[in-house]
Amino acid sequence: MTEKVIPIRVEQSAPVVDPAWDGRPPRDVRARPLRDLRISVTDRCNFRCVYCMPREVFGADYAFLPHAAILSFEEIARVARIFVGLGVRKIRLTGGEPLVRKDVHKLIALLAPLGTDLTLTTNGSALARLAPSLKDAGLQRITVSLDSLDDATFRRMNDADVPVERVLKGIEAAAAAGLAPLKINMVVKRGTNDHQIVDMARHWRGTGHVVRFIEYMDVGSTNGWRMDDVVPSADVVRRIDEQFPLEPAEASHPGEVAERWRYRDGGGEIGVISSVTQAFCRDCNRMRLSTEGALFTCLFATEGHDLKSLLRGGASDEAIRDRIAAVWSRREDGYSEIRTAETARLRKVEMSYIGG
Ligand code: SAM
Ligand code: SF4
Ligand code: SF4
């Protein structure tokens, strides 16, 4: 039987009694505000992307979380409301694959009235069917992952034999449902799909959708990451610029992870996410809520902070709020600033569990 990769150590209770929240938007040790909440709604996925859930580890006997362990929609919505009270202005649903969680549109309907920017990241494989219900429930925007337009390369990367056509139809359906303009995420892995960089740029130019080229990261501890596999964003920009001249564009908001580049001929824009070659920890304002209700203050965390026992133990909203504020105020994270080949081998939380 495959060894279960998680659970990562989850601190069961705060080391000190949580101080009461002082009413000001919490800031961490490095004075970064808490603005962005990413919620993993499932640790399951119908893909086995080689850089995220390699099949050798996430095989048929892999022990995913049992239903009783995962937060209900009502529990998630309660936590999200408390986060909004603390200053969170953006919520992203992710996973695993969020669209494999049954009736996820019902969660969206619970979150939409909170008034934040509300979005979701998906592999797009179920989008053709679900896009209208997501939009009707109140989803505002959507990000679709698409690593290649070449069917053979795409199937090799998702390792689940899903054809690229299915995701392209999903993108079309999302746009038709009113979720446009979309963001399209491409993780670039050297020797695997980097030959597709310019094709992707060409295909989506002029559509209004924004392709974001993501540096392959050492998330978790199972994807066999090596620095040699990373194509630096500067290279991506250079390769596209040679075909379609680019110029830098202003960040649209503070803490934006993607660096924006605009086509000089008015064909729209691209983004590059350079978490390996150009750390953006200094402005990182994101907290993650795992599928089973633990808080993670960094994508590369080796430890989470339990919230579920408060949620299921009858704690008041105030006590939950104080816990969240205390966890944030103790946060010092800046993993991408200190990444080395050695840190890459640390036993970090898996991305499919914590949410990308
Ligand atoms: N299943 C959904 C999807 O693929 O869009 C949502 C979850 S996925 C973990 C979120 C994002 O993380 C995706 O865009 C995916 O491509 C990206 N990702 C996963 N593993 C990565 C890695 N090792 N390096 C960089 N990005 C990664
Ligand atoms: Fe699934 Fe998304 Fe990870 Fe691919 S990147 S295996 S689609 S969770
Ligand atoms: Fe934020 Fe951690 Fe990523 Fe730095 S490494 S940007 S602190 S999630």
Give the span between the Cα atoms of 234 and 28, in whole angstroms.
31
Q: Is the pLDDT of residue 4 over 90?
A: no
**What count of other Cβ atoms lies within 10 Å of the Cβ of residue 87?**
16
Cβ 287 vs Cβ 321: under 8 Å? no
- The pLDDT, as a whole number, for residue 11 is 65
Classify the C-alpha dihedral 81-92-262-228 as positive or negative.
Answer: positive
- Residue 329: alpha-carbon gap to chain centroid: 22
Using DSSP's 3-state secondary structure scheme, residue 225 falls into coil
φ/ψ of 236, rounded to 5, equals: -60, -50
Give whole-number Cα distances, 169 to 4, 129, 144, 166, 176, in Å: 34, 10, 12, 5, 10
Residue nearest to atom 3 of ligand 2 (CA): 52
How far is ligand 3, taken at its centre, from the CA of residue 219, in Å? 11
Whether the CB-CB separation of 204 and 266 falls below 8 Å is answered with no
Give residue-wise pLDDT tens across range 162-206. Answer: 999 999 999 999 999 999 899 999 999 999 999 999 999 999 999
**43, 52, 57: residue to mutate for ligand 2 pocket, most atoms within 8 A of CB:** 52
pLDDT at 3: 39
pLDDT in tens, 204-246: 999 999 999 999 998 877 778 889 999 999 999 999 999 999 9
Whether 344 has a pLDDT exceeding 80, the answer reads no
% the chain with pLDDT above 90: 79
Please check whether residue 150 is in contact with residue 165, taking contact to mean a CB–CB distance below 8 angstroms. Answer: no
The CATH number of the structural domain formed by 36-354 is 3.20.20.70
Give the C-alpha distances (Å, rounded to integers) separating 143 from 122, 186, 197, 320. Answer: 6, 11, 18, 30
pLDDT tens column, 254-277: 778 899 999 999 999 999 999 899
List CB contacts of 91: < 8 A, sequence separation 6 or more: 36, 37, 38, 39, 80, 83, 111, 114, 116, 117, 118, 119
Query: What was the pLDDT predicted at 78?
Result: 98
Residue 6: per-residue pLDDT: 44
Mean local confidence (pLDDT), 140-152: 98
Strands 183-188 and 210-215, by their bridges, are: parallel
| Type of residue at 334 | G
> Which residue's C-alpha comes closest to atom 19 of ligand 1?
52
- What does DSSP say about strands 294-296 and 246-248: parallel, antiparallel, or unpaired? unpaired
CA 337 to ligand 3 center in whole angstroms: 8
Of ligand 1's listed atoms, the one at least distance from the Cα of 223 is 23
Alpha-carbon torsion angle 349, 351, 353, 355, nearest 10? 120
Q: What is the atom index within ligand 1 of the atom nearest the CA of 352?
A: 9
Q: Using CA atoms, how far apart are residues 248 and 251, in angstroms rounded to an integer?
A: 9
Please report which confidence band the pLDDT of residue 8 belongs to, taking 50, 70 and 90 as the band edges: low
Rounded to whole angstroms, the Cα distance separating 142 from 184 reads 9
Using a 6 Å cutoff on CB, does residue 137 contact ligand 2?
no
Long-range contacts of 164-170 (CB under 8 A, 24+ apart): 166/124, 166/125, 166/128, 167/123, 167/124, 167/125, 167/127, 169/127, 169/128, 170/122, 170/124, 170/125, 170/126, 170/127, 170/128, 170/131, 170/144
Distance 49 CA to ligand 2 centre (A): 6
pLDDT of residue 74: 98
CB 145 within 8 A of CB 164: no
